[in-house]
Amino acid sequence: MMINKAPRPSLDQVATARQIALFLDYDGTLAEFALTPDQIDPKPEVIALLTRLSHCPQLHVNVVSGRRLAHIQALLPVPNILLAGTYGLEMQLPDGRQFSRAELEAIQPALERLKPQWKQLLVDRAGFYLEDKVWALAIHARYAEENEAQFVLGKAHDIALDVISLDQFRWLTGHRFCEVSPLWANKGITVKNLISDYAAPDLLSIYVGDDGMDEEAFAIVKAQGGLTILVADRPRATQADYRLDSPAQVGHWLNQLAAQLEAAAQQT
Ligand SMILES: [Mg+2]
């Protein structure tokens, strides 16, 4: 991994592309983080931006989030874009059809055994948040005290490995975060499948994301010669080639992209 100091991505490469698959994370990328991950607070400017992008004929718009699909649907009521929830385990296609890549009945028993044990671990502790994603279970420790966060996330790991099978589930960690989710919950696999579904030899892929789960997708998009953009307010180790400082900058860059594609579409 390289420390990413690169400037904002140039639009030159994008201007000449005939078909583009645009992959966007949601929290920390299109919108600032919500106070809790269960908060659903649709952002009019993000909805307007994605609606604008959805009208560009060269563009396939995909939102790939760790949130539940139902949340992403509520946050982005935009037709003709693809919404991938739980890292791509559950999807809504641009025409509105929905499907999931695993059987909920096969997933839930283990999560139902794990949940009360994790709940017990968090009793009387401040700054932690247990997120039940139905398909997955996560602990957020963003607002917890540092040492306690490390202790609890370590304990959560030990408990989880007693309850789940790694043939069926993945153990995910991030900054002050851990999660148990099915194997299909993988942005890298999701993006790889979507790129091959588009089946366009001259497809340019662009991926914009801000956290560890996005790194799996950066690797895939990079291997295909695509554009990888990290959202971070300072340089850090990443697979991504470019960096934008904040969701506001992402919005600005994507609006510029839309303007360029609109102009190109008018010329043809
Ligand atoms: Mg994110």
**Residues 75-84: tens digit of each pLDDT:** 999 999 999 9
187 C-alpha to ligand 1 centroid (Å): 11
Partners of 3 in beta bridges: 237
Average pLDDT over residues 148-172: 95
**Does pLDDT of 254 surpass 60?**
yes
Centre of ligand 1 from the C-alpha of residue 210, in Å? 5
Q: What does pTM read for this prediction? A: 0.92
Amino acid type, 250: V
The residue-averaged pLDDT of 113-127 equals: 97
pLDDT at 160: 97
* Position 144 pLDDT exceeds 90: yes
Please write the tens of the pLDDT for every residue from 45-64.
999 999 999 999 999 999 99
Residue 262 has pLDDT above 80, yes or no: yes
Give the CA distances from residue 106 to residues 47, 70, 164, in Å, rounded to whole numbers and listed in that order: 35, 20, 12
Residue 202 Cα to ligand 1 middle (Å): 28
In the prediction, which pLDDT does 238 show? 94
Render the burial of 36-54: b for 16+ CB within 10 Å, e for the rest.
ebeeeeebeebeebbbbbb
CA 213–ligand 1 middle distance (angstroms): 8
Residue ranges and CATH numbers for the domains of the chain are: 2-101+185-267 (3.40.50.1000), 104-182 (3.30.70.1020)
Is a pLDDT exceeding 60 seen at residue 5?
no
Ligand 1 centre distance from Cα of residue 232 (Å): 10
For residues 204 and 57, what is the distance between their CA atoms, to the nearest angstrom?
A: 14
CA of 219 to the centre of ligand 1 (A): 16
- pLDDT exceeds 90 at position 65: yes
Mean pLDDT of the chain: 93
Find the 263 Cα to ligand 1 centroid distance in Å. Answer: 30
* Residues less than 5 Å from ion ligand 1, measured at CB: 25, 27-28, 210-211
Give the C-alpha separation, 88 to 140, whole Å: 20
Distance 60 CA to ligand 1 centre (A): 20
Centre of ligand 1 from the C-alpha of residue 125, in Å? 25
Per-residue pLDDT band at 10 (split at 50, 70, 90)? confident
Which has more pLDDT, 65 or 201?
65
In this predicted structure, the answer to whether residue 4 has a pLDDT above a threshold of 70 is: no
- Give the mean model confidence (pLDDT) for residues 66-75: 95
Instruction: Using pLDDT thresholds of 50, 70 and 90, give the confidence band for residue 3.
Output: low
